[in-house]
Structure formats: C-alpha cells, structure tokens
Chains A and B, each alone.
Chain A
Amino acid sequence: MGRSETWRLAAFTMRRTIIRDLEKLVGTSGVLSSTEDLLLYEYDGSVEEARPDAIVFPRGKQDVVEIVKLANRHDVFIVGRGAGTGLSGGALARQGGIVLAFSRMNHILEIDAENQRAVVEPGVVNLDLSRAAEKYGLYFAPDPSSQKSCTIGGNVSENSGGPHTLAYGVTSNHVTGLELVLPDGKVVQLGGRGMETPGYDLTGLVVGSEGTFALVTEITVRLLRLPEDVRTLLAIYDSLEDATDSVVDITARGSIPAACEMLDGWTLRAVEAYVHAGFPLDSAAVLLMEVEGVREAAEAQAAEISEVCLRHHAREVRRARDARERALLWKGRKEAFGAVGRISPSYYVLDGVIPRTKLTATLLRIEEIAKRYRFVIGNIFHAGDGNLHPLILFDHRDPDQFQRARAAGADIMQLCVEMGGTLTGEHGVGMEKNELMPLMFNETDLDLMRKVRAAFNPVGRLNPGKVLPLGKGCGETRLRPFPLSASGKA
C-alpha cells in the first residue's frame, strides 16, 4: 500500500467515525452522508458550489452544543445553514466539513404581543412568523423575496432586506436579542427584548456576521403593527431616466413610501410573459410602489406619489383596486427571478448599492458592461434605497460564459463602489465577494475585522472562507479539511 492509500484509508475510517458519532447524537435520521444527499447541499441560491462531508439536523440548543464539541474533537469545520436560499454562498461548506442545518429547529417559542416581540428558533421560516403574528395584528417586517422559504436564522446571518426595508430597515433593525453557541461550545445570551441593553451592542455586531462568529440558536425580534391601509401603485414610463428621476423626488419627500421597486424594460417584458401582471410590453421601465399606514396617510401619499410620477412624464399611474390586483403586481416583482429562469439556463443575481441620485448613470454603465461581455443584463431592484440587482443571463454549462459572467459581475461591483456605493446591500459577502472586499476596505480595516472575528471564532472553525479575503488568515486556513472529503475537492 502506497503512502497516499494509507492516508486515504485512515481518512475514510475517520470519516466513518465522525458520522457515527453524529448519528449517536441526533439519531440516524438526523444525519445525511450519502453522495446523493451531499450533492443536494452543494448549492444555495448563488452561482457558487461546494460539497459538504455530512449534514446534521440538530433538534435544539443542546444538540448544537454537542455537535460543536464533536467538531472540535475531530478538528473539522462547521457551517450553519437555514433554507439555503442565500445569494452569496454563505451557507456552503467552502472547505468541506459538517453542515449544521437548522430546519428542525423551527419553533416559534413565544409571541409577546404586548411588547411586540417574538422569540424564535433559527429555522423558523420568515413568512411563518408573520402568519403566526397576524392574529395579534402584528408582523415581521424584513421581507426578502424568498420569504416563503428562507429562515429567520438565515436572515440574521446575512442581515437580509427586502422591498419594504425602504421604510422599515433591514434585519438588524428588528433583532433585539440573540442566543449563540460559540465555536468552543459555550452558550452566550446577547441583548434582550428591550431596544437597548447596557454594554456594547454585540447583538448588532453579530447580525450580518454571515455565520462566521457563532451559531445562532434563539432570536428575539421586533414585530410591527400591521398597517390599517395599504396602497400599491404602478407607474409606467417611456424613459428610464424619468423613472429614476421620480425615485429621487419621491424619496426626498416628507413621507417615504414603504417600498419603491423598479423593473427595466427587458425585465418587465420577461416577467409579463410569465406572470401577466399587466406591465405594458412597450414601456422602458415601471415603478412598483407601496404606501401604508393609517387610511388618511396612505391616501394622501398615494395621491402625492401619483402626482410626482406624472410630473416626471409617467405615461400612466395605475393603482391596485383590490387585494387581488395588489398581489398580482407583487407577484410580478417577487417571482421575477423565476420568470428569468424560464428564458435563460442560468442567471447570476448581483447585489450592489449606489446613491439613488446616480441610478441613471449607473444603469447606463451596466448596459455598456453587458455589451462588452456580450450578455443580456436585466435590472429589477429596490430603487428607493439604490439597491441594484442586475441579472446576468448566461449558460453555466459553458465554462467560458461562466467566467465571463463572473467577470462582468465583478466589473459591476467595482462600478457601484466607484459611484460611492457598496458591494452588497442585503445578500451578504459570503464566498462570492470576499475577494472584492479590498475595493471598499484597506488592509488595516480588514485586519481589524479579522481580529474581531478571531475574538469569536479564533481557530476559524465556523464557516471558513467567507466575508474576508483569503490568503492572510487569522486561523482561516489553519484547520485541516474534513478527512477524505466526499467531493474530493476539499
């Protein structure tokens, strides 16, 4: 037996031992390790892929603690995962190891209606919390497009947004307390139910840390009161510039709408063919806007917004007449990616932010990038806060196209930063953009971030290869990969 065969055999035995130990903890039904199962966890909503070595489903905090201890004993990586809908590869086991999937920890532990708080396990689906809170007249404000399936734990990791973050803020604005399991197995409580607790705001720091600090096992969130009235408007434009001018004018007014979304001509045509939301096929752009609050506020704001849009040469401003029409318009927005999926074998959803006054200039530059790389790039985005989501259509089976799509994506990201914006508004850095971080932060900034991460995650046990650029690690590459990775890639 050659040396490498000896190592392979030892590693194989080791891997069996780890899986058996995991099964002892959570039962055989709580662990997946066959090749076909691992394939399913190789993906999330991004264009990235990385195969884990085992998937384990904890049933509660104690399981999480035991799994973390086990990973320490065997010196393997751990990556937390919610529904796997993330768009930056945050939940992928980049360097192999155990994926800790929270789908069985999906209980709403308490709805404290009086104080407008809920305490949930991380695997609770975003929309399920709003449904459960509805009977108290409350809801959970962050509303990513994937809210039917994404989990609140995932929202906390990525600091997710959604269309209505324009008025209500992203996930971090709605989380008041967390329970964490640190990579050494210690359990920590941060924050509470109040809006502030004495000491440093570690809760605010951990939200958006993309699973690189700790595993979150319990989340306390704010619930908002459901508005008395909601008005949804669709403004139709013959020119993209008129649409973006309207956005600047609308958001600078006293009452900011709850949502202000834009679809460019190409995207609205793709969506219309699938959803039939009534977007005119010959228009250059549409704005989908929502205002809400007390009846009088919604009424006055809707009138004001219509007037502004018409002043900026909107061809027409439609108002949804009932819940059905409203749902249809939103279907056009929320299922847009699905619509694009019908047209193109693959698409790459980007996420960048620019100052909203630079929308027109940026969209023109994106058009140039599309031509240069010979792609169609559609734009559907949160116009109100300047959060762009360019969609690059490509065929992932063609390696050249995939490389070009990534290069075009990087160019667009660089453009956003040049415009005074940022690399990500709500999808996170993950393994998609960690090498682009130097566009925004210098080595000193990144070093401090590494130190802060090391305070939580000193040996890089959790979610390696994410957020910060590789190659200069604080323990980032110190660990050895899971023995004999099933993917053979680790």
Chain B
Amino acid sequence: MSQVAVSLASRLGEFVGAGRVLTDPASLAAYEVDGRRPSAALLPGSVAEIAEILRFASAERLAVVPVGGKTHLHIGMPPHRYDLALDVSGMNRVLAYEPHDLTLGVEPGITCAELDRSLREKGQFLPLSPPFAERATLGGIVAAAADTPLRYAHGTARDFLLGVEFVTGEGTVSKSGGRVVKNVTGYDLHKLLIGSLGTLAVITRLNFRTFPLPPSQKMFVAAFTEQSDAFAFCRAIMESPLQPRIVDVLNPGAAGLFAARDAGFLIRGSWFVVIEAAGHEAVLVRHARDLAAMSQDAHAAEFIALDANQRDHLFGGLCEFSQIAFGATSTAMVFRVTALPSELCRARTATPGTSGTLPRRGRR
C-alpha cells in the first residue's frame, strides 16, 4: 500500500472505525466499475458518519460513488473519477413499518428480498421486484430506477416513494416529502433522486407506501407464431376493461432462455405474452375467459393458465431476466429501451443482434 493510501485510510478510519475501511486490492476488486477501482471503500453505519465522510471528501475533492448491492454498477457511463466507494449495505434496518397505515420507512441498504419477506408476514408488498433481488438494495434500485414486471399496474418508484432523507455532496443532511400516503408539502426533491445513480446525493432513508397482497392471483401465457399477433393481443388487452397486473412479452430468444431454465411450459421458438390477473376468484375467472377469447382472436397457438408453482417460477424469471441472460452467456448485454405501445414493435426490430427481449408494458 502506498504512503498516500495508508494516510488516507487512517484519516477515513476516524469517521467509521478502522475495521470499516477497506483498502486491500482483494476487497476493492468488488467495487470496480468498468476497470476503475477506488482507493478505499467505506462501510458507514449511520447518517452522521455518511455526512462526515462527504464533508471530508468534499473538502479534499475526492470523488465518491455510493454503493448498495453492486447490482447496477456496470450499466454504463462509468464515473470519470472514483476515489471512494461509500457502501451503505450495512445500513439495512426497517426504521418504521405501520401495516395499518400502509407506510414504511427503511434504511437504504436493506435488500429487496429481505424487505419482501418482512412485508409478506403482514400480507403486504412493495411493487419493486428488481433483478438480483437477494443482493439489490432499496437505495440502489431507487437510484438506478430499476425495473419491475409489476409496473403495469403499480407504476414506478415515483408512484409510491413518499419521501427521502439524503446527504448532499457537501455533506448536508436534508429531506423531502413525508411519511404519509398523500403529501404536496414543499418541492418533491426526492423525485430527482429516482434514477439519479448517486450523482446528486446519498440516500439514507426511504419512505414508501406499501400495498396489500391481492387475495389471489392467476398467471396466463399465450403463445404466438407471429410477433404482430402477440402485439395485437397486447393492444386488445389494453383496450379491454380488464385490469391485469402484469403484461410482459417474451420473444423467441427470451423464451429460449426461459425454456433452458426448465420452464417446460414454454415452447421454444415462438412469441409469448405473460399476463397476471389479481383479485377475487370471480375476477380471475373473468380474466381467464376474456383473455382466452382475445388470444384466440389474435391467432394464438396456445393459451394456458399456470399453476401456482409454474407461476412462481415464471414470475421469478421475469424479475430476474437480466440474471438469466448473464447466466446464459458471459457476453450478454442488457439494454433498456422505453417506448410507447404504438412504437414497441418498431423499437424491438430496430435493436440489432438481440437474442432475447422482454418488452414490459408500461403503466397504462
């Protein structure tokens, strides 16, 4: 370790304790962003520590990258400078959870999977099911605006993030929004943080609105030979009174990836539309009937209702599509293209060399 690195490490140790400053190459390798490696990684345990670190970094003109579960560090445009990794994954407590008010406050380092388990105990959920859910942290996926199959019904974080506490680059602790489900007090600075990739502030607390789990749900898959038929089916769903919670499309390449991971109910080589309905039994029956008829009108080769195991397997696959793609080939690249329903067909065909695409219908 160079002399400079040693003195930096000891300075940083003053803020978080010596045991929570990483400077050895083996540990720092995990924090690399496209070949750029920080001089140190810090594991703060409190908002006050984060503020101190950022005040120090600001005074010393050090570039800091906030880090959570490290699942979105490689999405492109690496930072020009990268001196310190600020790893908040140790700040992973639930700070406030009021199931009857449907509100939740968490630290940024809690993983999506962990949070999902605690919410499920109370019959609730947060409509964020990003890839790498076991590792991905709430702070990280909000900062990365990660995607989820449930956006068709629930929208994006913007629609249920109630407020945020954060530390600015100068080390000032600040907040916006609130903790109740409806609030227009002051400027919505927290909306700026969604998708900001840690360029504006380090998120230290997130307040969400939670949602009750539906009484029951049913997932359906319609298989098509022609792409145009699959999209026509999607349009018919959008124009119907039906209110599914998921409408995702798998192209033959994506379906191949799913089939390879033992989703035997998907036949290799054709287009699939995955729909999930939720609600009371009568609602599911209605969706089953109408969707079957609509898929037939759109020349579906097959329309099937999944059992609970198949459903969980496919839902997991839809959430973890990136992970499946990366698992299939080391050279996989995942692109995210936002397009309007009328442009979806075109957007897909204009993307060269894609083997699997998973158009996710945006919120209506």
Contacts and interface: CB of A to CB of B under 8 A. Distances in A.
A148 B176 CA distance: 32
B144 to A, nearest CB: 12
Interface stretch (B29-37, B252-260, B261-269, B337-345): B337-345
Interface centre among B188, B195, B239 (most CB of A within 10 A): B188
Contacts of B338: 194-197
A205 B185 contact: no
A89 to B, nearest CB: 14
A389 to B, nearest CB: 12
B339 A209 contact: no
Given A195-B363, A441-B175, A204 B184 contact: no
A357 B185 contact: no
Contacts of A170: 182, 184
Contacts of B287: 294
A248 interface: yes
B195 A386 contact: no
Contacts of A224: 364
Contacts of B339: 194
A225 B241 contact: yes
B174 interface: yes
Interface string B182-197: 1111111101101110
B184 A428 contact: yes
B98 to A, nearest CB: 6
A440 B155 contact: no
Nearest to A298: B283
B185 A423 contact: yes
Contacts of A137: 239
Interface string B274-285: 000011101101
A355 B98 contact: yes
B180 A353 contact: yes
Interface string A238-262: 0000000000100111111000000
Contact of B282 (A228, A299, A429): A299
Contact of B188 (A158, A208, A293): A208
A115 B341 contact: yes
Contacts of B279: 254-255, 293, 296-297, 300
Given A158-B184, A444-B174, A201 B158 contact: yes
Given A297-B280, A357-B100, A425-B183, A205 B285 contact: no
Contact of B173 (A225, A228, A299, A444): A444
Contacts of B189: 205, 448-449, 452
Given A170-B184, A222-B364, A294-B243, A421 B173 contact: no
B158 A429 contact: no
B100 A252 contact: yes
B181 A195 contact: no
A202 B179 CA distance: 22
A193 B102 CA distance: 30
A15 interface: no
Given A195-B363, A296-B286, A425-B182, A448 B168 contact: yes
A220 to B, nearest CB: 11
Contact of A467 (B186, B238, B364): B186
A428 B185 CA distance: 6
Interface string B321-364: 00000000000000000111110000000000000000000111
Contacts of B363: 195, 222
Sort chain A's interface into a size bin: 35 or more
A194 B340 contact: yes
A251 B241 contact: no
Contact of A356 (B101, B159, B212, B215): B101
Interface string B127-147: 000000000000000000100
Contact of B191 (A117, A205, A228, A382): A205
A159 B243 contact: no
B62 interface: no
B178 interface: yes
B184 A354 contact: no
A42 interface: no
Contact of A357 (B101, B194, B285): B101
B98 A205 contact: no
B220 to A, nearest CB: 15
A169 interface: yes
Given A355-B101, A467-B187, A196 B282 contact: no
A437 interface: yes
B88 to A, nearest CB: 20
Contacts of B305: none
Interface in B215-247: 215, 235, 238-239, 241-243
A114 to B, nearest CB: 5
B172 interface: yes
A422 interface: yes
B317 interface: no
Interface in A159-174: 159, 161, 165, 169-170, 172-173
Interface centre among B187, B196, B287, B339 (most CB of A within 10 A): B187
Contact of A424 (B184, B188, B212, B239): B184
A445 B178 CA distance: 12
Interface string B50-91: 000000000000000000000000000000000000000000
B99 interface: yes
A202 B175 CA distance: 17
A158 B185 CA distance: 10
B159 A228 contact: no
Nearest to B177: A422
A114 B342 contact: yes
B181 A386 contact: yes
B362 A194 contact: yes
Given A386-B180, A421-B180, A467-B186, A255 B155 contact: no
A201 B192 contact: yes
Contact of B243 (A158, A204, A293, A353): A293
B142 to A, nearest CB: 11
B282 A300 contact: yes
A112 B238 CA distance: 14
A382 B182 contact: yes
A476 interface: no
A304 B283 CA distance: 14
Given A424-B183, A444-B172, A297 B195 contact: no
B215 A254 contact: yes
A386 B100 CA distance: 12
24 contacts: A115-B341, A172-B158, A194-B338, A196-B156, A196-B338, A197-B338, A200-B192, A201-B194, A204-B194, A208-B187, A252-B99, A252-B212, A254-B279, A301-B280, A353-B181, A353-B182, A355-B103, A387-B182, A421-B179, A422-B185, A425-B184, A437-B186, A445-B174, A449-B176
Given A357-B101, A437-B186, 5 more contacts: A170-B184, A195-B338, A385-B180, A441-B175, A445-B176
The 3 closest A-B pairs by CB, nearest first: A204-B191, A228-B241, A300-B280
Interface of B: 98-103, 145, 151, 155-156, 158-159, 168, 172-176, 178-189, 191-192, 194-196, 200, 211-215, 235, 238-239, 241-243, 278-280, 282-283, 285-287, 338-342, 362-364
